[in-house]
Amino acid sequence: MSELAKRLNERRLSAFNEAKGIADRAGDENRAFSGDEEQTWTRLNDEIDTLDERIKSVIAMEQRGKDADAAMFGGKERTGGQPGDSKGEELRSWARGEGDRSYVVRPAGPVDFRALSKLSAGAGANTVPQSFYNKLMAHLIDNSAILQAGVTVLNTTSGETLPVPKTTAHSTGALVAEAGTIGTSDPAFGVVNLGSYKYGAKIQVSTELLTDTGVDLEGYLAMQAGRSLGNAFGVHAVVGTGSSQPRGVVTDATLGKTGPASVTGGFGAQATAGQGADVLIDLYHSVIAPYRQSSSCRWIMNDTTAATIRKIKTTDGQYIWQPSLVAGNPDTLLGKPALADPNVAAIALSAKSVLFGDFSQFFVRLVGGVRFERSDDFAFDSDLVTFRALMRADSALVDLTGAVKYFQGNAA
């Protein structure tokens, strides 16, 4: 980690401790925040959010610099000679109009069942050369908390309907008397069909930019196309209906906990039994232990909800939200990672505002690679080169026995 990232992380911890002190004083005195305290609390939380983004950007920038050198020089040192052939040079040649009109970026292998472990440096990414495709996928994950949550990703070369079996109920045993009849109890299965919905993004680049050898063209295309496609798919991965679009995790998740009445859909007051942190503890334990023990078990909510939960303490004065001590790692809530996704509903009456469970049971299907094509004629009068990026994807929760559950605000 660079010195800049370390300093930013230290400032983040300082801001969190200052905010914690404000909440502690109000909690010890059993009172609401004063006007000044509320303003300071809001400022500190905004600062924490800003620092989170800066830390992520610094780490990404450092990694992009290393990746650009590897792509441009084929992993060789700069000795003043011609750089070796590489995928980066192939892409630059294509972008300048040399060669075929289309450039298809494909994952390795026809079908890949994985938890995206190569995208985590600690899990082995530092030992794996990062291609253009992997950098694009990394940007998709930065823009979608669902894809950060350890979901199961299936990469297929073609887009025909892919049936995936799912469980809807398990078999059960029972006590049987001597010579008694043993009852039949079969597991119940269903099938979820993963299709291939198409997402597209269009990017226009000046001819001058393309011919400028100082521009990191790979990083530019990856960031722009990745954010566009990732944001579009990310909405449906969370709240998609499954009708002419992917099926979102909220659509198939089951109710874990309903909020207390007369609190506008929120968690209520910690001083009242069954409210505050008690609500989230109930949601936590509504997911059975085998799912909670999964490495893909975590929380997902939007930032506004996260800011509310940051203020909650248990009856013994301990915060249930704890900041990460490692830059780039998520904070934890009741010991499990907590991710922010803007597509999850905010706290409101009847709103499903918090998700918790084993997200490896949520399947994302990607068809082939991300296809890039160029046109020198589309914006000929402006001397712009037009690129379009296309991606085909689908998603669904395949285990409906309670792998992922949600908190829903009370309707009253």
CATH of the domain at 409: 3.90.1690
Mean pLDDT of 189-200: 88
Q: Is the pLDDT of residue 142 over 70?
A: no
Determine which of 45-49, 130-134, 251-255 has the lowest per-residue pLDDT on average.
Answer: 130-134
* Inside any domain, residue 94: no
Are residues 249 and 393 both part of a single domain? Answer: yes
- Structurally, the chain folds into a number of domains equal to 2
Are residues 342 and 407 both part of a single domain? Answer: yes
Are residues 408 and 273 both part of a single domain? Answer: yes
Contacts of 126 (CB under 8 A, 6+ apart): none
Instruction: Give the model's pLDDT for residue 69.
Output: 45
What angle is formed at CA 143 by the lines to CA 117 and CA 230, rounded to 5 degrees? 95
Are residues 151 and 223 both part of a single domain? Answer: yes
Instruction: Give the model's pLDDT for residue 219.
Output: 65
Are residues 202 and 252 both part of a single domain? Answer: yes
Mean pLDDT of 94-99: 58
Are residues 174 and 288 both part of a single domain? Answer: yes
Instruction: Give the model's pLDDT for residue 169.
Output: 72
Are residues 163 and 244 both part of a single domain? Answer: yes
Instruction: Give the model's pLDDT for residue 389.
Output: 84
Determine which of 72-81, 250-259, 327-336 has the lowest per-residue pLDDT on average.
Answer: 72-81
What angle is formed at CA 122 by the lines to CA 116 and CA 126, rounded to 5 degrees? 85
Q: Band the pLDDT of 403: cuts 50, 70, 90.
A: very high
Mean pLDDT of 258-277: 87
Determine which of 45-49, 302-306, 401-405 has the lowest per-residue pLDDT on average.
Answer: 45-49
Instruction: Give the model's pLDDT for residue 206.
Output: 83
* Inside any domain, residue 399: yes
Q: Band the pLDDT of 91: cuts 50, 70, 90.
A: low
Label residues 343-377 b or e (16+ Cβ within 10 Å = b). Answer: bbbebeeebbbbbbbbbbbbbbbbbbbbbbebeee
Taking a C-beta distance cutoff of 8 angstroms, is the pair 196, 337 a contact? no
Are residues 231 and 266 both part of a single domain? Answer: yes
What angle is formed at CA 304 by the lines to CA 32 and CA 342, rounded to 5 degrees? 175
Element (H, E) at 339: strand 336-340
Cβ-based neighbour number of residue 187 at 10 Å:
11
Q: Is the pLDDT of residue 113 over 60?
A: no
Q: Is the pLDDT of residue 285 over 90?
A: yes
Are residues 42 and 139 both part of a single domain? Answer: no
Determine which of 56-60, 70-74, 229-233, 291-295 has the lowest per-residue pLDDT on average.
Answer: 70-74
Distance CA 41, CA 311 (A): 10
Distance CA 240, CA 244 (A): 9
Determine which of 43-52, 211-220, 370-379 has the lowest per-residue pLDDT on average.
Answer: 211-220
Q: Band the pLDDT of 363: cuts 50, 70, 90.
A: very high
Give 214-217's long-range contacts (Cβ < 8 A, gap of 24+). Answer: 216/64, 216/68, 217/91, 217/92, 217/95
Question: 154 - beta bridge partners?
Answer: 113, 365
Averaged pLDDT of the chain: 78
* Inside any domain, residue 387: yes
Contacts of 93 (CB under 8 A, 6+ apart): 99
Which among 34-38, 181-185, 204-208, 334-338 has the top mean pLDDT? 334-338
Choice between 245 and 96, residue whose per-residue pLDDT is larger? 245
* Inside any domain, residue 4: yes
48 closest CA partner among 377, 298, 409, 311: 311
* Inside any domain, residue 93: no
* Inside any domain, residue 245: yes
Distance CA 156, CA 149 (A): 21
Q: Is the pLDDT of residue 136 over 90?
A: no
Are residues 370 and 313 both part of a single domain? Answer: yes
Mean pLDDT of 14-30: 84
**What residue numbers bound the domain in which 80 lies?**
1-84
* Inside any domain, residue 111: yes
Name residue, tokens 């069909």.
Answer: 193
Q: Is the pLDDT of residue 110 over 50?
A: no
Distance CA 41, CA 33 (A): 9
Choice between 87 and 301, residue whose per-residue pLDDT is larger? 301
Are residues 218 and 334 both part of a single domain? Answer: yes
Mean pLDDT of 45-52: 85
* Inside any domain, residue 91: no
Choice between 194 and 101, residue whose per-residue pLDDT is larger? 194
Instruction: Give the model's pLDDT for residue 368.
Output: 79
Mean pLDDT of 32-52: 86
pLDDT in tens, 209-264: 777 655 566 566 767 777 788 889 999 999 999 999 999 999 999 999 999 988 88
Per the structure block, which two tokens stand in for 22? 């404000």
Residue 329, Ramachandran bin (φ over 0: left; ψ between -120 and 50: alpha; else beta):
beta
In terms of DSSP H, where are the helices of 120-214?
132-142, 145-148, 207-211
Are residues 206 and 293 both part of a single domain? Answer: yes
Distance CA 56, CA 141 (A): 13
Q: Band the pLDDT of 95: cuts 50, 70, 90.
A: low
Instruction: Give the model's pLDDT for residue 297.
Output: 95
Instruction: Give the model's pLDDT for residue 86.
Output: 56
